Chains A and B, each alone.
Chain A
């Protein structure tokens, strides 16, 4: 599903346990998002935001992954904004992640 955060269109949710960004793949800015509420009126909460390093990453091995926990009734997933190297440097990705942190103040930020 598409989810626009701070003007950037993310896609997801992907499972934290199995999602991986390899070094030869398009790097990403990621948002860890909890989806709660009723199925007909969902509420999205931004738990964490970051950017993948050039060498890639596995979300399950991220240093903060133990903090990506759902509250009762929520499910947690990874949303990705693909930041092609031709358009975004590693510094750009970090800047976007910082803009998201400012706007959503994770882990409390409601979309």
Chain B
């Protein structure tokens, strides 16, 4: 008999700073690089002027990055290495990611996977990078050529298999996941089946198609799942209670919607992140949202992505599920198993 599937509750029992973020943000999303080697049609940077506007600082400088890592490491916070381009294009990518692990940060790397080789894959896994997310978006070369324009399918598959193989052989703690945007022309269930069951990824993150509103020329017609998570008239946005975003200049933006950098909550080159997190700017946003008046703020009123954020169905859930899958997988592997490609049975 088929069990009914419980709908996911996206709100929270109590709203406010998450307990883990009471001192310091749980997550710092870094615009580590702006250049990219792909032209993905759903990417906000490919569909905006933002890359041009960061031509003066295309890569986060080492000093800025290390200042962020040094302070974040003391709190064991997550650095999400993402932003306006492909992170592995940063000339010091591997060394800086390894550095952040050495000073106590957790690292979530979001990558298109095109630039991995034996050396950098091993270095990242040896350092214990916590989560490596391959943005795959497809499960066949034809679709991939459209949604990941400029990249090679065979390279992606080869690099993903190598990463998994090395991880499995070393029984590394790194979680290796794939992600796909739920957009028209993509069979998301087939994508999940291929990358999790066939290739052996720990998890597939299904991302909503976002437009980033006034920042880009994207429109929502490409979304294959526009159903909202939150009722924004009733529920505050979770992001301002758990994370912040930093661009390559060290400017702190209120959240991931403001990829153009219209807001400035402070600058990590001159201010402590902890002070910024508890500063007047973030208090302003939190107070408004907790009072049910988030839409009094022009930025939030115009944000089409708030409704796709969730207090429950979020990155922390991905971390938990991916870790459980990694443990199951490594526990089930025998010495004669193919360490790169996992049979579907081990994913149960």
A residues engaging B (CB < 8 A)? 1-4, 9, 11, 38-44, 110-111
Complex contact B217–A39 (CB within 8 A): no
18 residue pairs A–B, Cβ–Cβ below 8 Å: A1-B260, A2-B50, A2-B214, A4-B213, A4-B215, A9-B216, A9-B217, A11-B49, A11-B52, A38-B281, A40-B254, A40-B263, A40-B265, A40-B285, A41-B284, A41-B298, A41-B299, A42-B299
Closest to A5 in B: B214
B contacts with A, residue count (CB < 8 A): 25
Q: How far is the CB of A30 from chain B (nearest CB, A)?
A: 15
Complex contact A40–B264 (CB within 8 A): yes
Complex contact A11–B53 (CB within 8 A): yes
Contact of B82 with A by CB under 8 A = no
Q: Which residues 1-58 of B have a CB within 8 angstroms of A?
A: 48-50, 52-53
Residues of chain A within 8 A (CB-CB) of B263 are 39-42
Residues of chain B within 8 A (CB-CB) of A111 are 214, 298
Closest to B259 in A: A2
Residues of chain B within 8 A (CB-CB) of A42 are 262-263, 298-299
Instruction: Encode B128-167 as 1/0 by CB contact (under 8 A) with A.
Output: 0000000000000000000000000000000000000000
Complex CA gap A111/B213 in Å reads 12
Q: How far is the CB of A11 from chain B (nearest CB, A)?
A: 4
Contact of B280 with A by CB under 8 A = yes
Q: Which residues 290-340 of B have a CB within 8 angstroms of A?
A: 297-299
Q: How far is the CB of B271 from chain A (nearest CB, A)?
A: 12
Residues of chain A within 8 A (CB-CB) of B282 are 40
Contact of B76 with A by CB under 8 A = no
Complex contact B281–A9 (CB within 8 A): no
Q: How far is the CB of B117 from chain A (nearest CB, A)?
A: 35
Complex contact B53–A39 (CB within 8 A): no
Complex CA gap A42/B299 in Å reads 8
Residues of chain A within 8 A (CB-CB) of B262 are 1, 3, 42
Contact of B104 with A by CB under 8 A = no
Closest to B283 in A: A40
Which of A11, A43, A111 has the largest count of B CB atoms less than 10 A from its CB?
A11
Contact of B61 with A by CB under 8 A = no
